[in-house]
Structure 1
Amino acid sequence: MSLTFDFVQPEPAATDRITLFCDVILPLPLPKLYTYRVPYEMNDDVVIGGRVIVQFGAKKTLSCIVAAVHETPPALYQAKYVLEFIDDAPVVTQAQLKLFRWMADYYMCTLGEVINAALPSALKLSSESRIQLHPAFVREEPTYPLSEQEEKIVEALSTEDGKALTFTEVGDLLGSTNFHKVIKSLIQKDVIFLFEHLADKFSPKVVKKVRLAHHFVAEAALETLFQQLAGRPKQLDVLMRYLQKVPVYQNEYSNHQGIEKAYLTSAPHLSPSAVNTLIKNGVLEQFDVIVSRFPLGDSPEAKLHFSLSEAQVAAQADILQQFTEKDIVLLHGVTGAGKTEIYIELIRKALEGGGQVLYLLPEIALTAQIVTRLMRVFGSRLGVYHSKFSDNERVEVWNGVLSGRFQVVVGVRSAVFLPFDNVSLIIVDEEHESSYKQYDPSPRYNAREVALMMANFQGAKTLLGSATPSVETYYQTRAGRWGLVTLTKRFGEAGLPEIELVDTRKGREQKTMLNHFTPELMSEMERKLALKEQVILFQNRRGYSPFINCLDCGWIPKCKNCAVSLSYHKHAHELRCHYCGFHDRMPVECPACGSRNLKTVGFGTEKIEDDLKIMLPQANVQRMDLDTTRAKNSYQQIIADFENQVTNVLVGTQMVTKGLDFANVSLVGIINADSIIHYPDFRAHERAFQMFVQVSGRAGRKGKKGKVIIQTADPAQVIFDKVIRNDYLEFYEYEITQRREYGFPPFMRVIRMTVKHVDQLVAEQAAILLTQELVDRLGREAVLGPEAPYIFRIRNFYLQEITIKLDREHTVLKHAKSEIMAAINVVKDQKEFKQARLVADVDPM
């Protein structure tokens, strides 16, 4: 059944009452805000930044954010009434709204698209949102009294285990449209949980606890129990350990709370079976407790103690001094220089001043390792935010920032959306990373740039950190706009690793290659493993093989949706597209000629892992790429195994290049450097230099002399000399000269237009018309294209690209965006191009 609304206009009680209207941000790609009328009796309920329920279209109901309140009715349509107000306090702050408006304007998207990306799903209610009973709720013993409507919802959810109701079904059940405050009340009472999709159903964190059965708490009963257990020493030991931890006589409530079962079962001198026997015999009671994933108490682990080196102290003082004159400072430190310790000290100072801190990292893998260290310093004041969290966990962090519970948040790019309103310091670590850029869907933002604007709006300072800064960032320091602090030496006794180039072309000619490994790399791996040291191998391609082909007729399997070959994944024994996710079974014979002579071509991380397990049977080899890190806690587990030296060799894609800190790694191998250098992009050399230096920096970080072996078929490439000498300045001078000569950032701004259509000819024609319109408005010299990209079809859409180069002046950029939007509208107004998608990407990476 669909949920419809027949809203009757309330009669005003007095003629002098004010009629209010509110402009709302719907989570939809609408160019303008939509205006709704506030019912008279709700005038006092409306709050900017709060959520309201509205009807949009014939039947759809949505929650949206109030952006403005006024007394002006819309001129072009009859304003519908707001159906319900959910919040009596903002869930989106004024500071956020200002930042979101800037994002919509700068990245040429709608405010609705920004809100849709920013809010966790559980804050975006719609007629298809779902609710389920909280696993900790006991219907027979409710913590809070329930109203009649609340009881009715609970009864409907209790009919079967895990049953869920959509909002549409809740409305039908209660026979009312105004039920959202009932939902909110049940959430606050911990009776239900809210989720958006079936895949997001809440899975709580459960801790098993035990306590002494209440009838044994009395002294006489306990003495009798001791006598009964006199002949069972293992059970008696368990009971004694429990009583040492829980003073049942002094505080009976402490017994009611109990202790974690693991405290007893994990003790080395106690028997887990004895614990279970006591539970079975009714001496101990076992019970489950739902706990927050972000505990309020400080971490029980030992606090992290460290002392800054002389160079770190000097760098920190330099940063603070430059912050007195500049709002943005770049900390340019070689890999392993100890930037994280400086960050921690700066965060401490910011918190002492009463401000909030946002610490951005490019990868979840990095988050997992650094959070452990930060938690030991900042305890319950630290929140963590990234895409592997469930929706309910993200809402918990969101509300924690709003309430002030979390003063420090460490997260990936989406953390810039959190409701900060008193930020005093933003740290963007590994600021050069392309992972900070969102490609699809809109908004196609760069978290580094958004963080800089957030800091600007809130009067905060921003520290950018990198061993290989982006060319644009370093240019700003050279121009004197941003501060620069440099760390040239590694922390402690560690020195920079020795880098060796090995010629794979010569190896193949002389037939000395062992699968995809040169003899030099293999012998060095064997030597390091014999010394009980660890190895990281980097290959920038996942899967077992980039493609397969028939040796008889030349057939190569292609994706049915994209203009790419399918990659072979041996573990799943299937062919996959890395662009759209299409997969197919591995054929036994060629579908074109029937031959069984099929061969895998090339290699990815999966094949390297497979080969190494055969070639180095003494080593424990593990892989870290997109395929092995899909599960929520897989990053943490892989990193923990490597950190604890359970794993000897870690094979990975770009994930292993980004800031990971392992004490026992003494060798890094780059398997195929050439695939990174030879890429059709003006940033190819910059990315290659950054990647080589960053992955090299994983070796020899804690006193051991590290070594890096780079396998290449072209050792004479000019970039390798700069990598070997770790000469960023020489690389920068070379790169900035090229950028200036050919008109690329930082000297020009780039906007890339992509035209998409399921028909190739229509895509080409639409791109030609758009190019003509852009040339008429911006001039021929500013517009390049159109042309088909290297991969010209993705997800069944044919692509055409147009590159627009503009002067960096703000007024020029603002005018150009206006003209670009006008050109887009001209194309969209043509009947034959109605279904074409025209996508603007500002500052593409």
Structure 2
Amino acid sequence: MIESSSLPLYEVAVTAPIPGTLTYSQPEGIVEPLPVGSKVLAPLGGRLITGYVLAQLPNQAEFTGNVKPLSECLECEPFFPASLIPFFRWVADYYHHPIGEVIRTALPAGLSSVSNSAAVRAKTETVVRLCAPPSDQSATKLKQSEQKTLDIFFQHCGGSLIMPRRELTRLYAGASKALHGLAEAGLIRLEERQVLRDPFGDTLPFFDRPEILTEEQTAALSAITAAMDAGQFQPFLLHGVTGCGKTEIYLRATEHCLAQRKNVLVLVPELALSTQIEAHFYSRFGDTMAVLHSGLSAGERFDQWQRIMRQKVTIAVGARSAVFAPFANLGLVIVDEEHEAAYKQDDGLRYNGRDMAVLRARFAACPVLLGSATPSVGSFYHAEQGKYRLLTLHKRIDGQSLPSVEIVDLGKTKRPRTDWFFSEQLLTALRDNVAQGLQSLLFVNRRGYASFMLCQDCSSVVRCRNCKVSLTLHRGSERLICHYCGYSVRPDILCPECGSGSLVGLGIGSERIEAEVKRLFPQARVARLDSDTAGNRRAYMALLQQVRELEIDILVGTQMVAKGLHFPRITLVGVVWADSGLGMPDYKAAERSFQLLAQVTGRAGRGEHPGRVIIQTHQPGHYVLEAARCHEYQAMYAQEIELRAQLGYPPFGRLINLRFSGEEEQEVEAAAKAAADFLRIAAAKDTTPVDILGPAPSPLSLIKNRFRWQVLLKSGQPEQLHRLCNQLITEKKQQICRKSVRMGIDVDPENMM
């Protein structure tokens, strides 16, 4: 029996909403010390909860008596390396999130389950391994079925002397019983081995390695490899026009890093871009890479995580959650399309994958490469101030020119029909492109057929019963759908306000544009790419393959078509309505609109034919549209940085948004008001000015039957903002968040809706 005073003590992060970590002693019946990163079952408040061992603590006899033992070690093989723990601690502190919940977010789904039966497991199969070839004497004693089994084994094992049992029994049904006799004779052995679930399939295209780089590519690559050779943290901002060859710089830098026997982490903002980067990296590096994103099944994600932990791969490519990939020897971190808001997690642990990628590189003392044709205003400001090193690519590869851009004023331009969304200029250009056998892309930043249903009698809009948003008409599924909670009804309903049956669908969506294009160009092959038509990875890749093989003449799509796609035969891009994002109640609305327009513009003219872009708008004089027309990022940046300096918005100030939600609006409002009052009193005691804006209803004030209010904190001193949040959590949160009210802390918010 081990004395309690001699039991090892552990620092454990439990997956519960509590601050800090807890101390437990060794589980009873286990002698060996638990490794850092192992998954344990810990008693907490009368229940058992999952936890992760962060450290073994010094054993103090006087302290041990008050420490509970861990109930069980669920998985003693570590799920993450010890080198990741300082990173987890920093993330927990910065985002005011329990460290156990940070680790649960980092791990693949299923690994943090309390029940082993519910946890994702490795997939295994039984294999037949030849122990010794039968001698002449033993061969005469074999049954006919056993001899036939061996004959088939030798015919199909490919010289490896090992073969899956299911394959052998498929070839010969009698092998199932014969194997037992062969095993008893010592001729074969039945073993279990892990089978990796293939996340790639056969849909990835192959990309050749170019023989030479441009002068600009060579100069940029030299700067990056020099930082790798020095083994130092260095953030680079790679600002290059669309089609300049940024991806090839990623690949060459990766080659250099692998030659140093170090690992590479590559982040992309979303699944659509992930598949493109995956194809490039898989073409160059094959099975030496792993992928981590939401498009994988739980089992595939588990396998990929384990391959990284067991050092079976050297590269990981994935969306924002891949920033937690369990590499212990990082030599390079790459963030593609660094400006994308999709790097920000909107619930739970509200982290920014791009910012955390910079942090991981800092902890690993290695370079981080942020790439974009339209960098975020904050990142470009950091480059101007010397915090990041700016690398610029001004020219497209192979001497290709940027497309010509034409702005069409929808307020003055005549349209063939008032109910069509196409100007005469865009229709003519589409007609000419189809006639010449070239491809066209039409961009609209909304999915569905109609944005809302309007009652012609009382002018009310049909809204979701769970959210204060309009329902979107989807003709394909014949449903009115809420894009926030998923609620849906048939479109042939009566007006909820007056009972009228005179409902009409208004607004614009990708489904409606597709339908109109098919009517206008019946001879053209038209396809649509949005989350409705490409809801999974395979459907998405299959549709892109059709475009690549010239089986589609006109592609209609949402943001999924705006970035990362390289199709040399697309020569015309039409932006159906460029105004949708400019009026959003968000200080980043103009920046995001420019980025989207510049990115979709960059899809045109990437081959031997010149590109043309037509942007339709009701605001032709807006500075964002003029900057997009001239391909002038600097013009947009100069305007935005001046406005933000005047208002104290990032990068000149920092923001923390406190979000309150609950089922009773009065309780939510009261909690938000109490928090704002407390913060104003606390802020007044400090000499550093802090703006407390609100409380106010969120722009989307009701989502999924929960009312939403917010309080925005703004200051040029981030330390003061974090101090105020910590005060609120420790001194006031339990009082103000009673009953059903929840408070979320969004540090550096990307979405103010």
TM-score normalised by the chain length of structure 1: 0.78
Q: Is the 8 A contact 2:110 2:120 kept in 1?
A: no
Q: Distance in 2 between matches of 1:47 and 1:215?
A: 48
User: Is 1:28 matched up with 2:20?
Assistant: no
Q: Distance in 2 between matches of 1:758 and 1:462?
A: 43
Q: Distance in 1 between matches of 2:677 and 2:64?
A: 33
**Partner in structure 2 of residue 721 of structure 1:** 626
Q: 1:251 to 1:563 in 2, by over 3 A?
A: closer
**Partner in structure 1 of residue 100 of structure 2:** 112
**Partner in structure 2 of residue 574 of structure 1:** 479
SS in 2 for 1:444: coil
**Partner in structure 1 of residue 389 of structure 2:** 483
Q: Is the 8 A contact 1:217 1:249 kept in 2?
A: no
**Partner in structure 2 of residue 225 of structure 1:** none
Q: 1:216 to 1:110 in 2, by over 3 A?
A: closer
Q: Distance in 2 between matches of 1:362 and 1:384?
A: 13
SS in 2 for 1:432: coil
1:605-616 matches, cutoff 5 A: 605-616=510-521
Match of 1:617 among 514, 517, 522: 522
1:75 CA displacement: 7.2
**Partner in structure 2 of residue 557 of structure 1:** 462
1:697 CA displacement: 0.3
Aligned amino acid, residue 561 of structure 2: V
User: Is 1:495 matched up with 2:377?
Assistant: no
1:42 CA displacement: 2.3
Match of 1:463 among 366, 369, 374: 369
Aligned amino acid, residue 92 of structure 2: A
**Partner in structure 2 of residue 312 of structure 1:** 217
**Partner in structure 2 of residue 432 of structure 1:** 339
SS in 2 for 1:695: helix
Aligned amino acid, residue 100 of structure 2: G
Q: Is the 8 A contact 1:248 1:254 kept in 2?
A: no
1:415 CA displacement: 0.2
1:548-697 matches, cutoff 5 A: 548-697=453-602
Deviation per residue, 1:130-150 (Å, 9 max, x gap) = 379998756xx9989xxxxxx
Q: 1:122 to 1:337 in 2, by over 3 A?
A: same
**Partner in structure 1 of residue 249 of structure 2:** 342
SS in 2 for 1:520: helix
1:477 CA displacement: 1.1
Aligned amino acid, residue 709 of structure 2: Q
1:81-480 matches, cutoff 5 A: 81-127=69-115, 129-130=117-118, 137=125, 292-293=197-198, 304-321=209-226, 327-440=234-347, 442-480=348-386
Q: Is the 8 A contact 1:107 1:841 kept in 2?
A: yes
User: Is 1:63 matched up with 2:70?
Assistant: no
Q: Distance in 1 between matches of 2:206 and 2:575?
A: 37
Deviation per residue, 1:548-581 (Å, 9 max, x gap) = 1221233422111111111111111111111122
- Identify which range, 366-375 or 627-636, moves more after superposition: 627-636
Q: Distance in 2 between matches of 1:593 and 1:301?
A: 58
SS in 2 for 1:42: coil
Q: Distance in 2 between matches of 1:803 and 1:471?
A: 21
- Identify which range, 451-460 or 770-779, moves more after superposition: 770-779
Aligned amino acid, residue 407 of structure 1: T
Match of 2:702 among 793, 799, 802: 793
Q: Is the 8 A contact 1:539 1:670 kept in 2?
A: yes
Q: 1:781 to 1:396 in 2, by over 3 A?
A: closer
Q: Distance in 2 between matches of 1:503 and 1:783?
A: 41
Q: Is the 8 A contact 1:539 1:652 kept in 2?
A: yes
Q: Distance in 2 between matches of 1:832 and 1:838?
A: 7
Match of 1:784 among 687, 690, 693: 693
Deviation per residue, 1:14-34 (Å, 9 max, x gap) = x69712222211222222323
- Identify which range, 412-421 or 797-806, moves more after superposition: 797-806
SS in 2 for 1:507: coil
Q: Distance in 1 between matches of 2:39 and 2:125?
A: 27
1:484 CA displacement: 0.9
SS in 2 for 1:691: helix
Q: Distance in 2 between matches of 1:130 and 1:258?
A: 27
- Identify which range, 821-830 or 559-568, moves more after superposition: 821-830
Q: Distance in 1 between matches of 2:405 and 2:62?
A: 67
SS in 2 for 1:524: helix
Q: Distance in 2 between matches of 1:468 and 1:18?
A: 59
Q: 1:65 to 1:254 in 2, by over 3 A?
A: closer
1:518 CA displacement: 1.1
**Partner in structure 1 of residue 712 of structure 2:** 803
SS in 1 for 2:645: helix
1:699 CA displacement: 0.5
Aligned amino acid, residue 713 of structure 2: I
**Partner in structure 1 of residue 189 of structure 2:** none
**Partner in structure 2 of residue 237 of structure 1:** none
Please list every run of 5 or more consecutive structure 1 residues that lacks an aligned counterpart in the other structure.
Answer: 1-10, 145-212, 222-245, 261-275, 283-288
Match of 2:653 among 748, 751, 755: 748
Q: Is the 8 A contact 1:369 1:639 kept in 2?
A: no
Aligned amino acid, residue 99 of structure 2: L
Deviation per residue, 1:713-760 (Å, 9 max, x gap) = 121112222111111122212211111111011111111111222222
Q: 1:770 to 1:346 in 2, by over 3 A?
A: same
Q: Distance in 1 between matches of 2:589 and 2:62?
A: 51
- Identify which range, 108-117 or 353-362, moves more after superposition: 108-117
Q: Distance in 2 between matches of 1:396 and 1:582?
A: 34
SS in 2 for 1:121: coil
Deviation per residue, 1:260-313 (Å, 9 max, x gap) = 9xxxxxxxxxxxxxxx9x999x9xxxxxx97641699xx997964543223322
Q: Distance in 1 between matches of 2:411 and 2:592?
A: 23
Count of aligned pairs: 706
**Partner in structure 2 of residue 207 of structure 1:** none
1:546 CA displacement: 1.1
Q: Distance in 2 between matches of 1:19 and 1:718?
A: 68
Deviation per residue, 1:164-193 (Å, 9 max, x gap) = xxxxxxxxxxxxxxxxxxxxxxxxxxxxxx
Q: Is the 8 A contact 2:263 2:329 kept in 1?
A: yes
RMSD of aligned alpha carbons:
3.4
Please list every run of 5 or more consecutive structure 2 residues that lacks an aligned counterpart in the other structure.
Answer: 131-145, 176-193
Aligned amino acid, residue 700 of structure 2: I
**Partner in structure 2 of residue 45 of structure 1:** 33
Q: 1:135 to 1:48 in 2, by over 3 A?
A: closer
Q: Is the 8 A contact 2:122 2:303 kept in 1?
A: no
Match of 1:518 among 412, 419, 423: 423
Q: Is the 8 A contact 1:19 1:40 kept in 2?
A: no
Q: Distance in 1 between matches of 2:286 and 2:76?
A: 30
TM-score normalised by the chain length of structure 2: 0.87
